[in-house]
Amino acid sequence: MSRIFREEVEREFRREGLYDLAPKKTWCRPWRTKMMLVGSGEKVLLYLSRYIFRVAISNERILAYDGARVTFKAKAAPVTLDAEEFTRRFLQHVLPKGFVKVRYYGLWASACRPKLEKARRILNDHHAAIGKKPHRTTPPGSVARPAPRCPKCGCEYDRSPVTIPRSREPP
């Protein structure tokens, strides 16, 4: 699967004249693709979005601080930690010097916005050329779930690519 994916991307990059813009080693080294069944993917997307679009903990989740202990909202119930332990855990989410968040790197960098739009057009054109919905597989023995529907009107959700609005915070 990794080889097929890389070849598809490489072919589209060549077709659009973007091939030479990528570092040469991109096309020489093997790509690794890991695929796992994750249901509808909503929980994975939520998990990843916390690392891409937000800080480790928002101010709204911090409930109390008395100078020695911090209480904050967690999944199940409020958690209280010594300020030192809270700080230690928080700092595990601070990126090392020289690292950047995903949204500011590669095609997501603001300087590459035209390239990102071009990549989106390529993917949309490819999707349209195929003329069918993406193939969904389920592991042996499992039952395919129906497509998710809007709770208000009952329509099937549109699974076409979406544009994620930029955050207002500076890079």
Q: pLDDT digit string (tens) for 69-101?
A: 999 998 889 999 999 999 888 888 777 676 666
- Number of C-beta neighbours around residue 143 at 10 A: 5
Side chain identity at residue 161, one-letter code: P
5 belongs to a structural domain? yes
Decide if 166 is inside a domain.
Answer: no
- Is the pLDDT at 136 greater than 70, yes or no? no
164, part of any domain: no
- Top pLDDT among 146 and 112 is at 112
Assigned domain for 23 exists: yes
Tokens of 108: 């997501």
The domain in which residue 15 lies consists of 1-35
Give the type of residue at 67: G
Position 16 scores a pLDDT of 85
Average pLDDT of the residues in 61-72: 93
Between 138 and 66, the more confident residue is: 66
How many whole angstroms separate alpha carbon 137 and alpha carbon 157? 18
Cα-atom radius of gyration of the chain, to the nearest Å? 21
Q: Which residues contact 136 (CB under 8 A, 6 or more apart)?
A: 144
Residue with tokens 């076409």: 160
Task: Tell which residue, 62, 4, 10, has the closest CA to residue 32.
Answer: 4
- The pLDDT-based confidence of 166 (bands split at 50, 70, 90) is low
> pTM above 0.95?
no
Q: Residue 24 domain-assigned?
A: yes
Q: How many structural domains is the chain composed of?
A: 1
**Residue 16 within a domain:** yes
Helix boundaries (H) for 20-110? 25-28, 42-53, 83-91
In a domain, 86, yes or no: no
The label of the residue with tokens 């230690």 reads 88
- Going from the C-alpha of 111 to that of each of 22, 67, 105, 116, the distances in angstroms are 15, 43, 10, 10
pLDDT of residue 100: 62
Judge whether 130 lies within some domain. no
